[in-house]
Structures are given as structure tokens and as C-alpha cells.
Amino acid sequence: MRLGVRIGVDVGSVRIGVARSDPGGTLAVPVETVKRGKGDLDAIVALAQEYEALEILVGLPLGLSGKPGGAAEIAARFADELALKATPIPVRLVDERLTTVQAQRGFKESGVTTRQGRSIVDQAAAAIIVQHALDSERQTGEPLGTTVRTP
């Protein structure tokens, strides 16, 4: 298991949830929600630099069949742009099927309505992405996902 902070990103059409792991790579926690649009890449890179991130994990919302759809294409394009801005911090695409559903279910079970939790559900989804990557790497010894290549 590699040591170092991982930054997780859940790309939405309006908001981007951001989470991070602890430096030991044990636990993921929500960080903030970034408004999608001008300056969003810079904000994420600034957080990665602030936390001295080992890598940035961008959720890739594949369909249940495992095939990419429109949302996956948007996330992949975002990851490409982020990889260019974040160099030398590597960016990895990680399968994030159902993370938002999982986050919403957790809020519902704790009594938080979707409306109340809307601003933090993206952060929770990003934390689930990071935690899944940490758990997978701990089990397999290999980082989860695929590295986004920069030209």
C-alpha cells in the first residue's frame, strides 16, 4: 500500500464533490464542493497541492453494464483537462458506479433529506470513490483505475 493523500473527485453537471484520504491511505473524508465552471480545475489542483496529494482520482460513471455513456465521456474529458493542469500529480479514472446513489442512501438513512444534503452529497460520493480505491489497493497491492495520459 502506497502512503500519501489521494484526492477524489465526483464530477457533476453543476457541482464537483471533492474528498481526500489521510496520508496513511486508510480513511476518506469529504473536503468541499466546487462549483462547476470557470476556475473549477484550478480549485481542485490547489486542493491537491495543499494536501500534497499522491494522485487525483476522478470518478468514471460507467453504466451498470460497464459501458461508458454520456456522463462517463464528460468525466473523462474533465479528467484529461485536469491531468494537464495538475502535472506532475497523476490523475486516475476510477469506476464509480452507484456512488451518488450510495451517498444519497446514507443521508436518507441518517434522516437528512435530499434537499438538505444536496450540497454535500457530491462530497460524500467523492469520499466513496477514494475509499473504494484505498480498499482495492490494500487488497490487490495495485492502484485502482487507469492513469490519464498527458501529451
Q: Which domains does the chain have, with CATH numbers?
A: 6-138 (3.30.420.140)
pLDDT digits (tens, 9 = 90+) for 48-73: 999 999 999 999 998 777 777 788 99
Task: Give the pTM.
Answer: 0.88
Interatomic CA distance for residues 97 and 103, integer angstroms = 12
The CA dihedral of 80, 93, 122, 4, to the nearest 10 degrees, is: -100
Q: Is the pLDDT of residue 107 over 60?
A: no
